[in-house]
Copies of this chain bind each other. A is one copy, B any other.
């Protein structure tokens, strides 16, 4: 026995009407007699009729489904974003298909292929750290697929985008370290091709400059896998330790990198903020319980997911092409957790 749904046909047969009449009763308000309409609606209600969305999709050539490409579901930042995406999508009657790039360009490409083959109505994309080539994305965009980029955007493709104010977030994080007395602040960041990496780097550099601290390339380490491979963070830090100018603080510019840093510091028995200052972008939920608690830059992930989805649905549902492609910028939040001031002042000269 298969799960069988009630169809319009069943109603028509039961009521001795034609399918078109039933359909009209269920949709229209005019062009149908009140009695018939009432009859149909009551019966439909009674047997719990649900229109078959697949048949509707075929007819309307709309799947009411949007595709999402993220790095990893099991990552606080992304799962919060997905939460936001789902909340808006569901409210508007859309389904969401999620796929993960795991920061690999190949996986991202095959996901793209998979999603477009599933006849989705639109696409939410945060590109992988490996993605240098945007031909695939560009092609499906040119073929008319609505796309909204979030977080890791692609400048070359003209469409709506949602990002956080990475520059200011990084600026304030760095500024905070400086105000705490650190002067040799290293920066651990994602693959330099990523938009977020560039913007955060710029914020970091500007903060240094504004406080009269010399920029120093040896203090900047790129993790091209975004910290997916734990080892790369350790190698980056090892290189930093070996610098002539040894860092006294680290600004880590993603969740994975921040947690990775914490792990390595622990492993090497380096305590922050006494031996080493630390601040990072993080949306995880235990940073405040560390001892000492870690100050972080928190991103409005849920809101980003919501906003990106709203923009995508606008693209999907608008009858006319949208010309003014907005880039919406959300504020980050610098969460300063103290109990550390005393130790830090020792470091101050």
Chain A residues with CB under 8 Å of chain B are 1-5, 50-55, 57-58, 61, 63, 65, 72-76, 79-80, 82-83, 86, 90, 95-100, 114, 116-119, 140, 143-146, 259, 262-263, 266, 284-287, 289-291, 302, 321
Contacts and interface: CB of A to CB of B under 8 A. Distances in A.
Contact of A79 (B2, B3, B73): B73
A119 B73 contact: no
Tell me how many chains of this kind the complex includes: 2
B90 A114 contact: yes
A74 B63 contact: no
Contacts of A55: 58
A113 B178 CA distance: 55
Contacts of A286: 259, 262, 284, 286-287, 289-290
A24 to B, nearest CB: 21
B97 A3 contact: no
B116 A50 contact: yes
Contacts of A3: 116, 140, 143-146
A96 B73 CA distance: 13
Contacts of A285: 259, 284
A119 B3 CA distance: 9
A51, A79, A262 pick with most chain B CB within 10 angstroms: A79
Contacts of A291: 290-291
A119 B263 contact: no
Contact of A58 (B51, B58, B143, B289): B58
B290 A117 contact: no
A262 B289 CA distance: 8
List the 7 closest pairs (A to B, CB-CB), nearest first. Answer: A286-B286, A3-B144, A50-B117, A291-B291, A79-B79, A3-B145, A1-B144
Contacts of A290: 286, 289-291
A2 B144 contact: yes
13 contacts: A3-B140, A52-B119, A54-B58, A74-B80, A79-B79, A86-B99, A86-B100, A96-B97, A266-B289, A284-B286, A286-B289, A286-B290, A290-B291
